[in-house]
Amino acid sequence: MNKFELILQIEAFFKSRYNAWCLGITDRPMEREFELRHPKNWHVWEADTQEIAKEIEELFVQKGCKCVYGDSGRFIYMFSS
């Protein structure tokens, strides 16, 4: 999915409550969900490229989301903290 479509879809979940959400990127979304012990309100989107995923991660961290570090990839995941 392209950058602007992803931003619109992700924004729909946040509803301006960015600090209530954690966000990260991965190439292994199912494994990552398991590693995080199936967190509440798990959502995943696939970006067209890893660079787009990283840009979106940085954008939402700047808006107040908590970042889950230690992974890279094209999938953006989020869950409520």
CA end-to-end span of the chain: 25
Note whether residue 14 is domain-resident: no
Instruction: Please tell me the predicted confidence (pLDDT) of residue 69.
Output: 79
Pair type for strands 21-26 and 66-67: parallel
Structure-token pair, residue 81: 């903290």
Note whether residue 13 is domain-resident: no
pTM of the model: 0.91
- Domains of the chain: total: 1
Note whether residue 32 is domain-resident: yes
Q: Report the distance separating Cα 26 and Cα 51, nearest Å.
A: 12
Residue 35 above 80 pLDDT? yes
Note whether residue 52 is domain-resident: yes
Instruction: Please tell me the predicted confidence (pLDDT) of residue 47.
Output: 97
Note whether residue 15 is domain-resident: no
Q: Each residue of 68-79: pLDDT tens digit? A: 877 789 999 999
Residue 56 above 90 pLDDT? yes
